[in-house]
Amino acid sequence: MQITLSLRKALLAAFALAAVGACLGAAANRFTKPKSILHVVTLYYKDGTTEDQKKDVVEGVEKMAAEIPGIKSVWLKGVKVQGSRQEKAADGTVKTRPFTDAFVLEFETEAAFKAYEEHPAHRAWAEKTYLPLRGYSYTHDITNP
């Protein structure tokens, strides 16, 4: 009788541990595939751009996002920005320019993403703040099927 009781306790403990492990394993692999659109921008600034000017660009992204309907989220600080671009100077020399900064806008819908391009807040930010300081940028627009 004593062996049977110990065996039952051991089996119950084993089943409980297996159930907890299965739940933890399943939770660790959960992810979603949202239909929102991510607008990812990597860039470097023109030579001579100051830290204050860079700060103005980032603050401008946040201000612009607050004014444009359909922007769901923003990311304003590149943690790891990869890539570079070859620039040819007027004298013919070639300089490798690494991308140094990034920001991301998440749009709720494709319609919101399309409206962003012509929105007055985007146009004003781009023309007055961003483009005069941007050396070069790449954009990537990403969603799920």
Going from N- to C-terminal start, the domains of the chain cover 1-31, 37-142
CA gap 50, 121 in Å, rounded: 23
Per-residue confidence at 11, pLDDT binned at 50, 70, 90?
very low
pTM score, whole prediction? 0.78
**Residues in CB range of 117: below 8 A, 6 or more apart:** none
**Exposure class string for 79-118: b at 16+ Cβ within 10 A, else e:** eeeeeeeeeeeeeeeeeebebebbbbbbbbeeebbeebee
Q: Is the pLDDT of residue 7 over 60?
A: no
Domain 37-142, architecture per CATH: 2-Layer Sandwich (3.30)
Q: pLDDT above 90 covers what percent of the chain?
A: 77
H or E segment and range at residue 75: strand 71-75
